[in-house]
Structure 1
Amino acid sequence: MQDGIVIGEGVLLDTRPASFASRFLGALIDVAVDVAVVLAGLATFAGTGVDVGADLGRILSVGVLVLLMVIAPVTVETLTRGRSLGKLATGTRIVRDDGGPVRFRQALVRALVGIGEIWLTAGSVAIITSLVHPQGKRLGDLLAGTYAIRVRGGTKPAPPAPVPYELRPWASTADIRRLPDGLALSVRQFLGRTSMLHPTSRIRLGTELSREVGRYVAPLPPAGTHPEAFLTAVLGARREREYALAMASRRRLAEEGVTLHRLPHQVPDPPD
């Protein structure tokens, strides 16, 4: 059984921790890009011929180091939600331990710790920590609560399950409101990983999720409905309704486009 991310609801996400090689290569690419940008900026500044004194030169040096070690990586990771240029090239992403995208706080902690474990030690501390930790975390990841995952090369997700046949009459008339994004994600991940859960955990999680989803459904399904069948029916019914609305909207727009294209030729001239 391969590793993955277990979110707060105990659901295993279909992702795997990135290998040490991909993390190391991605870090090298990021460092090379940052250094190249800084050197290009310094070369451009030097080409202007502006004479700076010793004091101003020291201030500029400190500013460049802060930009290179902290500001640039924090900005890139925050704006791209954990996907720098190096991580894009290696098919990895930095996420929180619960599977969510990194925020400014996590990116800042990673960058500040990286000053010591990457820059001041030539990356030796980060390499040793990543090799020892089972999920390939470095010290910055341990303190920030993050780690790198693979976002390429995983298994293709299975197609969504349809509404169970025995629940179709109920699903066709039930009022099913929009589920919160977090709850909908938990249900989808649970249904996709039921076979990998322990039977006790499977029953407990299914019952808890059914209770939460039941707050957004009226009326509830017939008594005795299995929690997993109920959850499958809710997601399937919402998916079918959203698809029907999207197709109706597309047809309406197509009809309006035809009407608008034909309109100038069929509107009679106003009477004098």
Structure 2
Amino acid sequence: MSAVVGSIHQDEILTGEAVALDVQPLGLMMRALGAVIDMLIGYAIIIGAFAALFASGVDASVFAIIQISVIVLAFVVVPTAVETITRGRSVGKLVVGGRIVRSDGGTTGFRHAFIRALIGVLEIYMTFGGLAFLVGAFTPRSQRLGDLVSGAYCERTRTPQVPEHVLVLPPALTGWAQLADAGRLPVRLSRRITQFLAQSANLMPGARARIAQELAAEAAQWVSPVPPVDAETFLRAVAVVRREREARALDIQSERVNTLLGSVR
């Protein structure tokens, strides 16, 4: 018995059911921007607390204790609480569109948030983000030291919307489509035509025309009659005809299955 081995990309997560999930980690620069925002919030908490303490005239011996408590609160307690409650989000991550998740793609908890916040005191606040940026630059998912220790990384939550690509039959070829024989087109050639039509708008004019001519020359051997139009219009018409006829064949097959099931019942 032969085993089928599939390659897993570094941006894919293999679940317990052996399903590869395509997840995109947040880039290093976006992570740095989010960290700067969170760092400024932490510093703002400390400055505001110290200003209130100075204004209240607290005794010097008590001020030292409160000072340490404020630093721990701003740098460890608040980030841990925020990430735990929001399940991996913070103000900076909301701005840049990121979320902290486990290495297997699951939701993080208190342990992950606490470890990240604790180590973040060193690599973010004490080094002004320099250590975190240096470590993130040499890890595949832009993970900082706290991420590596806690077993987490920052997942991208905002993905660009994929434009819907709908092929439409040119009106001048409506009559041709009713008589054309394009059902015997090889699967590989059909796939290449579909990929070309989906990406043709991004190609240079010269390459676009050349590839269209090559594909049209191959498709012309399997299509009869060949309409007197340019190569790309011909390919578009062939793709539409094949799509509609395959959809019609699936509908007919579904109707037959339903009829058989109805007769058995």
TM-score, structure 1 as length reference: 0.53
Displacement, 1:2?
7.7
Equivalenced residue count is: 156
- Write the mapping of 1:134-153 to structure 2, written as runs, cut at 5 A: 134-153=140-159
Task: Show the counterpart of 2:57.
Answer: 51
Q: Between the two proteins, what is the percent identity of the paired residues?
A: 43
Displacement, 1:64?
1.0
Gapped regions of structure 1 (runs ≥ 5) = 159-272
1:37 is aligned, of 40, 45, 48, to 45
Task: Show the counterpart of 2:125.
Answer: 119
Q: Which of 1 and 2 has greater Rg?
A: 2
Name the Cα RMSD after superposition.
2.2
Kindly indicate whether residue 16 of structure 2 is the aligned counterpart of residue 8 of structure 1. yes
CA contact (8 A) 2:50 2:67 kept: no
Displacement, 1:102?
0.9
**SS, match of residue 127 in structure 2:** coil
CA contact (8 A) 2:45 2:74 kept: no
CA contact (8 A) 1:15 1:154 kept: no
CA contact (8 A) 1:6 1:99 kept: no
Equivalent-residue separation in structure 2 for 1:54 and 1:10 (angstroms) = 61
CA contact (8 A) 2:84 2:108 kept: yes
Displacement, 1:75?
0.4
Displacement, 1:45?
4.3
**Which shifted more, 144-153 or 10-19?**
10-19
CA contact (8 A) 2:84 2:113 kept: yes
Going from structure 1 to structure 2, the CA distance change for 1:41 and 1:52 (only over 3 Å counts) comes to closer
Gapped regions of structure 2 (runs ≥ 5) = 1-8, 165-265
Task: Show the counterpart of 2:75.
Answer: 69
Equivalent-residue separation in structure 2 for 1:154 and 1:98 (angstroms) = 23
TM-score, structure 2 as length reference: 0.54
The one-letter code matched in structure 1 to 2:132 is: A
